[in-house]
């Protein structure tokens, strides 16, 4: 650049900075987020991730490590060591061409402000709740079943039948299991009973058997530990595969590198760790596409082996529908 050109650039820069007051218009900030949906194709099936909401939760939720270890683990990944971590809740809509299937429903009104956005995002994505004919539950915690009903307790998806694993239904709807459970879990049992009993009474709660196709190319697989009937759903279409794995990972920065970390609300922490460790290994080996309920939205990506540090998460990027 010549001296003359540099001077000219400097003049242009000054002109840009010192604008006449009359031209400077204060533009209001928009302060709304883009609609919370994200879409991909898996073979012939159209998958739409639906955002329900996000919040923070304490690091102390994680078990099998000291507070210092947990802080170090987070720092290894995030470069910072906060005492709280961010968690999101995602649901997934699958259009097979014959069925419109919602996998988990978000928290509805159960989780408080910032949650309960699945139905609005489903509409924003171009569908109507009335078009959903099947709802598959990975398990019956409030952040997965709360969105089954509207604020006034009516079915949010009036034409849908709800499906869950038999061990999950047997556990959460059993008065004797509830009576045996610790005080901290009583709210969970009550919520499951309140929300699901009307579906059961109306013949709209059905059970599936893990390992048997529910539809051609759609198979539930048992991933017990987090809850007794915690289930993943494998969808295989046109030679492509995706696993909707529910709550196998609650926080990416910790549980990929350290699968041994259980969470406070695991029904059976030891079993949950075993299930996660085995599944991460298999998914990394198979390079299966994953859709996770609590991985940062849209929660779709791959598990990759990471040498001595267990595994890491590689999210898919934004792109056109192909
Ligand atoms: Zn969950």
- pLDDT for residue 11: 47
Q: Which residues surround ligand 1, an ion (CB under 5 A)?
A: 141, 143, 247
The span from the CA of 82 to the CA of 104, in Å, is 29
Ligand 1 centroid, distance to 52 Cα (angstroms)? 11
What class, spelled out in words, does domain 35-315 have in CATH?
A: alpha beta
Residue 15 has pLDDT above 80, yes or no: no
- Please enumerate in sequence order all residues whose Cβ is within 8 A of that of 164, keeping only pairs 6 or more positions apart, or say none: 136, 137, 139, 140, 205, 207, 208, 229, 231
Which run of H or E residues covers position 205?
Answer: strand 205-208
CA–centroid distance, residue 114 to ligand 1 (Å): 16
Residue 255 Cα, ligand 1 centroid: separation in angstroms? 14
Q: For residue 143, report the distance from its CA to the centre of ligand 1, in Å.
A: 5
Distance 144 CA to ligand 1 centre (A): 6
Q: Which strand (E) or helix (H) includes residue 222?
A: strand 218-222
pLDDT digits (tens, 9 = 90+) for 102-120: 999 999 999 988 899 999 9
DSSP letters spanning 277-288? HHHHHHHHHHT-
Give pLDDT, residue 23: 72
- Per-residue pLDDT, averaged over 291-297, amounts to 97
- Spell out the domain ranges in the chain: 35-315
Task: Give the distance (Å) from ligand 1 centre to CA of residue 238.
Answer: 30
């Amino acid at each position: 650049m010549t001296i003359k050109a540099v001077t000219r650039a400097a003049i242009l820069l000054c002109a840009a900075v010192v604008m006449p007051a009359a031209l400077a218009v204060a533009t209001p900030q928009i302060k709304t987020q883009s609609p919370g949906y994200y879409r991909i194709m898996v073979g012939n099936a159209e998958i739409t991730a639906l955002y329900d909401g996000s919040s923070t939760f304490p690091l102390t939720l994680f078990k099998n490590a000291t507070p210092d270890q947990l802080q170090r683990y987070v720092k290894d990944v995030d470069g910072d060591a906060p005492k709280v971590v961010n968690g999101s809740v995602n649901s997934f809509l699958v259009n097979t061409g014959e069925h419109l299937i919602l996998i988990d429903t978000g928290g509805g009104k159960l989780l408080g402000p910032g949650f309960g956005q699945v139905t609005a995002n489903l509409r924003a994505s171009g569908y109507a709740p009335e078009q959903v004919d099947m709802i598959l539950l990975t398990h019956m915690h409030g952040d997965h079943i709360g969105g089954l009903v509207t604020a006034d307790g009516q079915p949010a998806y009036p034409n849908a039948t709800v499906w869950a694993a038999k061990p999950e239904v047997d556990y959460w709807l059993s008065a004797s299991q509830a009576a045996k459970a610790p005080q901290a879990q009583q709210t969970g049992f009550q919520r499951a009973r309140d929300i699901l009993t009307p579906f059961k009474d109306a013949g709209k709660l059905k059970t599936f058997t893990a390992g048997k196709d529910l539809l051609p190319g759609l198979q539930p697989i048992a991933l017990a530990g987090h809850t007794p009937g915690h289930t993943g759903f494998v969808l295989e279409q046109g030679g492509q595969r995706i696993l909707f794995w529910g709550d196998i990972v609650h926080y990416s920065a910790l549980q990929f590198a350290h699968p041994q970390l259980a969470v406070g609300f695991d029904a059976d922490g030891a079993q949950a760790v075993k299930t996660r460790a085995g599944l991460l290994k298999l998914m990394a080996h198979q390079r299966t596409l994953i859709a996770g309920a609590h991985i940062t939205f849209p929660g779709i990506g791959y598990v990759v082996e990471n040498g001595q540090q267990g595994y890491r998460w590689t999210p898919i990027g934004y792109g056109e529908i192909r």
